Amino acid sequence: MNETNGRGAPRVVVDAPLDGRRRVTIDGRDVGVAVEPDEVLRMMRRAGVPEDRIALDDPEVVEWHGGGPDAWLDAPPR
């Protein structure tokens, strides 16, 4: 991971929900689309975010657009 917030934490950005989906980027790299908070956690782990930095409610790690970790629209069936 290259980009950080200045404190050594990765920069995770979760975009506003659109049709129940939220685009997720980690350190400027698109890592996918999530339909629930657990998917964001899995993406963070797959991207190598250190376990002690994985927290959806930590604004130093995760930047939420269009609502926080509890703001999800109903997702269409997969």
Q: How many domains does the chain have?
A: 1
Is 5's pLDDT higher than 70?
no
Domain limits for position 42: 13-64
6 in a domain, yes or no? Answer: no
5 in a domain, yes or no? Answer: no
Maximum mean pLDDT: which of 1-5, 8-12, 27-31, 71-75: 27-31
The total number of residues shown for the chain amounts to 78
* pLDDT, greater one: 58 or 77: 58
Integer Cα distance of 68 and 74 in angstroms: 15
60 in a domain, yes or no? Answer: yes
75 in a domain, yes or no? Answer: no
1 in a domain, yes or no? Answer: no
22 in a domain, yes or no? Answer: yes
- Residue 8: half-sphere exposure toward Cβ, Cα within 13 Å: 3
pTM score = 0.82
DSSP 8-state assignment for residue 3: -
pLDDT in tens, 21-62: 999 999 999 999 999 999 999 999 999 999 999 999 999 999
71 in a domain, yes or no? Answer: no
Residue 1's pLDDT is 43
